[in-house]
Structure 1
Amino acid sequence: MAEKTCAACDYPLDGDAIKVTIGGRVVEVCCEECALKLREAEASP
């Protein structure tokens, strides 16, 4: 089975992954810092 990784930094995810909706898709990230990076990238023009 493939290991899940963070959508922002490719760090291996554990049971404490944070779900973030980006562009209508739900992705999982490892920490709040990565979630913020993705949200900022989506908001930028």
Structure 2
Amino acid sequence: MSEKTCAACDYPLDDNAIQVTIGHRVVEVCCQECADKLREAQAKASG
């Protein structure tokens, strides 16, 4: 079984992973900082 990793930084995820909706997709990240980075990237890409 492959280990889940953060969508932003590829850090291995644990039970404290945060789910973030980007577009129509839900991804998991390791911390709030990575969640903010993905949201910022989404905002730049969409407008």
Shorter-chain TM-score tier: over 0.9
Unaligned runs of 5+ in 2: none
Deviation above 4 Å: which 4+ runs of structure 1? none
Please give the TM-score of this superposition, normalised by the length of structure 1: 0.97
Report what 1:20 is aligned to. 20
The one-letter amino acid of 1:26's match is V
The one-letter amino acid of 1:10's match is D
Q: Counterparts of 1:17 and 1:5 in 2: how far apart (Å)?
A: 9
Please give the TM-score of this superposition, normalised by the length of structure 2: 0.93
Q: Counterparts of 1:23 and 1:41 in 2: how far apart (Å)?
A: 11
Aligned length: 45
Q: CA RMSD in A?
A: 0.5
Report what 2:4 is aligned to. 4
Unaligned runs of 5+ in 1: none
